[in-house]
Structure 1
Amino acid sequence: MAKQHATKRESPHLKRFYYPLDQAVEKPFNWKQMSRLLNYVKPYAKTLLPGAVIAMFLSTLVRLLVPFLIGQVVIDVAIKNKDVTLLTYLIIGIGALYLVSYVANMFRIRWVNILGQKVIYDLRKTLFSHVQRLSHNFFDKRSAGSILVRILNDVNSLQELFTNGIINLLMDVVMLIGIIAILFAISPQLALAVLVILPIMFYISTKLRRNIRRSWQDVRIQKSRLNSHLNESMQGMRITQSFTQEKENKEYFDGLNTDNYESERLAMKKSAYFGPFVEMSNAIGTVILISFGAHLIIIGPGNGGIEIGDFVAFAFYLGMFWEPISRLGQIYNQLLVAMASSERIFEFLDEQPNVEEKSNAMVYKDMKGHIEFDKVQFSYNEDRIALHEISLEMKQGQTVALVGHTGSGKSTIANLISRFYDPTKGKVKIDGYDLRDMKLSSLRSNISVVLQDTFIFSGTIMENIRFGRPEATDEEVIEAAKVVGANTFISKLSDGYQTEVEERGNILSAGERQLLSFARALLADPRILILDEATASIDTETEVQIQKALKKLLKGRTAIMIAHRLSTIREADNIIVLEHGKILEQGNHDELMKQKGEYFDLVRSQFQMLDAL
């Protein structure tokens, strides 16, 4: 079975989700990074944290005090002298101390849980807000699933650290320091004999540290790959079923699921080594305590020995000593998990947009829509030049069509106008201003984009159209829908504009979703409208209706239309023909047809195809 799994993993087809950006790396424990993580606690340093720390110190003090009272006072004084009154007071006092400890622990747990939840909330909010600001280049290199893992799983993995780990670490350190001090105060020689195992424990735990941390890194990576596959599988389920590839998809998922299982099993196995070792150390310490402690009781206090009460107190403290040691091992595992997750979180937070906004960027309120490309060259990567130093002009209010074969640079021009990318060379200007000098929100609020594969959000039809301009009234939303012809099908739905469209608008046809995207774009009242294959999913009858509406709506606006169906762009003021990132010819339909160049050939080939049908 293992051999079969390995064979599947060697298939090139089955490597499609193994992203090079998700790789485990060997790094030392990064205290600077941990300090950065703890900065998220600072907003609560004067509210929740002080109360939790005080409660922790109070409960720890009670735990350190009780064994002393039992050994030194109850046994060596009250019982030894048969003082019933003192014994009664001591029992009541110890009971009261435990009650104080209970109340303190109750408030500590409550406050640290609130603290942890608030920190996780802030961290996830910061991460999501930052990801929204990143450029398209960031999303081109990563799957949606791997991004989701960082925002959800990796942030969630820090929850235990913030809700319990930090305070428990402080409590256990205070407890250990207090216990060691008391043990040496009771009997230095017995303390040295019992704690001789500590250096060995420290050495072994140090050796395990790097191995365990690497394992938890691998767990995060495997979860990312699993989620990436799940996300893509759900979105592509219709394609999977259409090509009857359920079996292969299941086998691939089984491979990823097995990798995820094995990585977590191995990480848990390595993390579990520490617990049994602490138990073994406890057993060795207990054997030393009984054998050497009995000897010290026999020789008596006068000869360097100890009293029975000292022995009992020492036994109490020794039993308490291994408990925080064991918890520190668990906390250390939490720290390793937190480090693996925080590395991945901060990798995103340190990612800077490729499209940077200047600190003194201008807010452009009265955009006209005059677009210029001044010797613009653009490359998605070094090996692929999408535009070759093109210069073009799109005048205010013009409808400009971009035509050409796939990969000719049409969508690249649209992406540069919206400044989703910056040109490698040259300048893109609107109304004479370089886009790099404009505030991004100011630029994009004046541009609406309608894509072929339109995205419809979960929610109502009213909410989806209003996404273009959230402050719009219901009447304005309905008017936009009427203009593009969407009102006809919306009014036939059971709940009209309040109809829930479900995820990605599953209850709507492709054409209906496209009409909603038109209404959404037009409601935004943009100065520039980009239509990227926007009518590809609409039937001919609906397209005619939209073309009539667009004549009115595009008046006074600059419109850029990208289309393969050349019948949709006949009325364009200017048609730019592109090939391999270069402008071959431009002019209106009649002018280009007279030239009998590339555009003429494209139109003729399309009509020949229609005639053949």
Structure 2
Amino acid sequence: MKKLKKLIPNFRSPAYVLVGETARKNWWLIGINLVTNLVSAVLEGSTLGVIYLAIGYLTGTDDPGTDTPTNPTIAQILAKILPLPPEQMFLVLIFGAVVLQIGLSVSNYVNKVSTAYLSAKAQPYVTGKVFERIMTFSYGCVSRYKVGDLVLFANDAALAVDLQITYFNNLVLNLSFSLVYLVIIVRLSPILAGAATVLILAVAYVQYKLIPRLRRVVKRVTASQVESVKYITQSIQALRLLHTFGTQPQTLTGANQLLGNIEKQLKKRAVVLYLPEPILDTLPMVALGILAASAVLFEGGKATILPLLLTFLLALQRLSGRLKGTSGTITFLVDNSARMVRLETILDQRDKVFEHSGSEPFRGLREDIEFKSVSLSYSNDDNFALKNLTFTLPRNKVTALVGESGAGKSSIVDLFIGLYQPTAGDILVNGRPLADYRLEDWRRDIGVVSQDTFIFNDSILENLRYGRPSASLDDVVEAAIAVSCTVLKERCSP
């Protein structure tokens, strides 16, 4: 039982909660999906029933004039509605089967389109949610991740949820059709249905044995892919440094080792992922032979058995196809489970620290800024970057922080602009803790020139007015001139 529970995903996990939230927002598409699944299953069963009757009329076993019709009730109803000779009734039923098949095709088309629409709405929504979650982390929390890792989280989230929705729809569709085929088979012959049950149990056993192994393999594949993406992203960001020290060959060697590990894991995945296919392709053919022999032995003479046998074998052949589809869908759901588990790691709040912002609006500095017994530990342990620091930043005066590298100047600035919260102590602004104010208001009045430069992939103009998107071109030019005069220490003309 414990082993079986491990095969079932945790639907209360953050990743599946997000899937459920996405589904609720698009309930009407889910409704279309369910309705078309039901309609398709009913039409499929009806088609097989009509074919069964048509074969019966063609062979004379369902002629209402015969002494032992195999289904006298339906045959007699049809005879009253359409009093036609058996040959013409056969053609009418075949035409009816074609019409039902057209309806089935339309229903399947609507089902696939609604699934694609759901996927189209879900992908950007999920990506946005993951990006929003990353943006709400505190700077200290988000800085624990590598850039490549965060990019992969945002990109893989949409793919993971999209595949989960698609595979789940396929699973429901295949199970619905399989149920219809099973009902038909049981109605045709309970004895032969027992043999079909053996086929189903064989398929279930194959899945049961392979899923745990596949789950382990896909976890290793995902882990290898994540490591390679982080390494390659980091190397691209450090291209200037690589060229400066001439370490491109070593970097390529490291990347090739990681990519080689991915190749190795993907090969293992392929062996397990596609192993059920030859087994499931062989089992139905073996079953068909056994069932055909069983039908001849247990179901009577050749004249009466022909409609039964043909319809039964057709239903069984389609059932085996749906069982194969169900097996493949379950396999791919397990293959996608590693992405879902990885998605959970970014959505789970238990090990995350979120950016704190107070509710009080900041409307300007009226008093001095005070640091009172402020301590900061980046790792929340006994290793302090700042400890029991107390000083005042006077209002309307210039204060310079001077010290050797590692003395804590950057840490003070990080606390001042709210990138980190003090481990102990308070920063008082207008006599109130800085944590009481809305960070957005506080940072709007602060200008920061970082020692780490970053240029957005945009025009120079947009980079210059990034902090004030509403600034006019004249404002930007004026600010640029003022900065250049300050840096070059030249006198600027009024």
Range of TM-score over shorter length: 0.7 to 0.9
Q: Are 2:160 and 1:157 equivalent residues in the alignment?
A: yes
| Structure 2 counterparts to residues 2-81 of structure 1, below 5 A | 29-33=9-13, 35-36=16-17, 37-46=19-28, 48-71=29-52, 73-80=53-60, 81=63
2:287 match: 285
Alpha-carbon distance in 1 for matches of 2:453, 2:391: 28
Cα deviation, 1:551-570, whole Å, max 9, x if unaligned, reads x9xxxxxxxxxxxxxxxxxx
Alpha-carbon distance in 2 for matches of 1:392, 1:459: 40
Q: CA RMSD in A?
A: 2.4
Amino acid at match of 1:125: G
| Structure 2 counterparts to residues 438-453 of structure 1, below 5 A | 438-453=437-452
| Structure 2 counterparts to residues 172-571 of structure 1, below 5 A | 172-299=174-301, 307-351=305-349, 354=353, 356-357=355-356, 361-368=359-366, 370-381=368-379, 382-485=381-484, 542-545=487-490
Alpha-carbon distance in 2 for matches of 1:244, 1:281: 59
DSSP-derived class of the 1:311 partner: helix
1:84 match: 87
Percent of pairs with identical residues: 21
Whether contact under 8 Å (2:50, 2:96) holds in the other structure is no
1:569 match: none
Amino acid at match of 1:464: N
Alpha-carbon distance in 2 for matches of 1:28, 1:115: 24
Whether contact under 8 Å (1:355, 1:420) holds in the other structure is no
Q: Which structure dedicates a bigger proportion of its chain to helix?
A: 2
Aligned-pair distance for 1:119? 0.8
Aligned-pair distance for 1:141? 1.8
Cα deviation, 1:568-588, whole Å, max 9, x if unaligned, reads xxxxxxxxxxxxxxxxxxxxx
Alpha-carbon distance in 2 for matches of 1:421, 1:451: 16
Aligned-pair distance for 1:434? 0.6
TM-score (normalised: structure 1): 0.71
Amino acid at match of 1:31: F
Cα distance, 1:369–1:242 mapped onto 2, change above 3 Å: farther
Aligned-pair distance for 1:154? 4.2
Whether contact under 8 Å (1:212, 1:336) holds in the other structure is yes
Whether contact under 8 Å (2:203, 2:327) holds in the other structure is no
Aligned-pair distance for 1:44? 0.7
Whether contact under 8 Å (1:158, 1:338) holds in the other structure is no
Which sits farther off after the overlay, 125-134 or 50-59? 50-59
1:148 match: 151
Aligned-pair distance for 1:28? 6.3
Whether contact under 8 Å (2:126, 2:158) holds in the other structure is yes
Alpha-carbon distance in 2 for matches of 1:249, 1:362: 49
Cα distance, 1:356–1:464 mapped onto 2, change above 3 Å: closer
Amino acid at match of 1:101: L
Aligned-pair distance for 1:347? 1.8
**Unaligned stretches of 5+ in structure 1?**
1-25, 487-540, 553-613
Whether contact under 8 Å (1:149, 1:223) holds in the other structure is no
Aligned-pair distance for 1:291? 1.5
Aligned-pair distance for 1:427? 0.6
2:131 match: 128
Alpha-carbon distance in 2 for matches of 1:157, 1:449: 39
Cα deviation, 1:207-238, whole Å, max 9, x if unaligned, reads 32222112222222111111111111111122
Q: Which structure dedicates a bigger proportion of its chain to strand?
A: 1
Amino acid at match of 1:44: N
Alpha-carbon distance in 2 for matches of 1:296, 1:65: 26
Alpha-carbon distance in 1 for matches of 2:212, 2:235: 35
Higher relative contact order structure (alpha carbons within 8 Å, sequence separation ≥ 6): 2
Aligned-pair distance for 1:349? 1.9
2:74 match: none
Alpha-carbon distance in 2 for matches of 1:380, 1:28: 39
1:564 match: none
Cα distance, 1:380–1:292 mapped onto 2, change above 3 Å: same
Query: Alignment partner for residue 115 of structure 1, among 103, 118, 121?
Result: 118
Alpha-carbon distance in 2 for matches of 1:105, 1:367: 65
Aligned-pair distance for 1:417? 0.7
TM-score (normalised: structure 2): 0.87
Which sits farther off after the overlay, 142-151 or 192-201? 192-201
DSSP-derived class of the 1:400 partner: coil
Amino acid at match of 1:462: L
Alpha-carbon distance in 1 for matches of 2:313, 2:225: 45
Whether contact under 8 Å (2:138, 2:419) holds in the other structure is yes
Alpha-carbon distance in 2 for matches of 1:180, 1:28: 25
Whether contact under 8 Å (2:361, 2:441) holds in the other structure is yes
**Unaligned stretches of 5+ in structure 2?**
1-5, 64-84
Alpha-carbon distance in 2 for matches of 1:440, 1:315: 70
Q: Give the aligned length.
A: 461
DSSP-derived class of the 1:77 partner: helix
